[in-house]
């Protein structure tokens, strides 16, 4: 986890906030992740821009479902990545999921906004496993794990909001 980035996120209005857990939104984000995975299967390597965008949003929607289940709101994609890193550190999600998310975010930005047409490697089995792993965590996360994650985030928010820039 990048402490400077996390600190920046905690200080942003739309960065990281503790909210009420929302099971309905968590389910909707999971549904969106699964729909996005289905769309990805139909792109058939025709467009690196759409492959990158779809691949990233498949992962993003999965992670955001978990954040909604825990009760964490992030409206800045870089901050979602930083929270994912923190969730790895406290063993809520598997290691390297935040790296996949961050790498695919960067690839999406390059292909979608800068039209770099970078090659997008798609492994449907791996991506399906990512979505399924997060879905299983959303459906099985314990109150203890939720509280652990919320407390860790809240502690960081309070620490960083009261510190110098």
32-43 confidence digits (pLDDT tens): 999 999 999 888
Q: How confident is the model at residue 164 (pLDDT cuts 50, 70, 90)?
A: low
- Report which of 55, 48, 34, 24 is spatially closest to residue 132, judged by C-alpha positions: 34
H and E: helices and strands count for the chain: 7, 2
Query: What pLDDT, in 10s, does the model give residues 55-111?
Result: 999 999 999 999 999 999 999 999 999 999 999 999 999 999 999 999 999 999 999
Partnered with residue 17 across adjacent β-strands are 73
- Site of tokens 């390297």: 96
Extract the tokens encoding 87.
Answer: 């969730």
Cα–Cα distance, 80 to 5 (Å, whole number): 11
Rounded Cα–Cα distance for residues 106 and 78 (Å): 10
pLDDT attached to residue 46 = 79
β-strand partners of 16 = 74
pLDDT band at 160; cut points 50, 70, 90? confident
- 165 pLDDT band, cuts 50/70/90, is low
What lies within 8 Å, CB to CB, of 131 at 6+ separation is 30, 33, 34, 37, 58, 59, 62
The CATH topology of domain 3-160 is 1.20.120
């Amino acid at each position: 986890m990048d402490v400077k980035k996390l600190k920046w996120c905690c200080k942003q209005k739309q960065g990281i906030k503790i909210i009420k857990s929302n099971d309905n939104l968590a389910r909707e984000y999971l549904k969106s992740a699964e729909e996005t995975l289905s769309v990805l299967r139909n792109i058939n390597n025709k467009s690196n821009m759409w492959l990158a965008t779809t691949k990233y949003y498949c992962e993003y929607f999965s992670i955001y479902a978990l954040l909604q289940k825990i009760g964490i709101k992030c409206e800045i994609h870089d901050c979602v990545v930083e929270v994912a890193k923190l969730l790895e550190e406290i063993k809520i999600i598997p290691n390297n999921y935040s790296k996949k998310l961050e790498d695919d975010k960067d690839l999406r930005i390059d292909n979608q906004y800068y039209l770099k047409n970078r090659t997008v490697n798609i492994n449907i089995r791996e991506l399906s496993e990512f979505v399924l792993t997060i879905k299983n965590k959303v459906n099985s996360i314990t109150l203890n794990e939720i509280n652990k994650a919320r407390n860790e985030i809240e502690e960081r928010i309070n620490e960083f909001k009261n510190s110098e820039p």
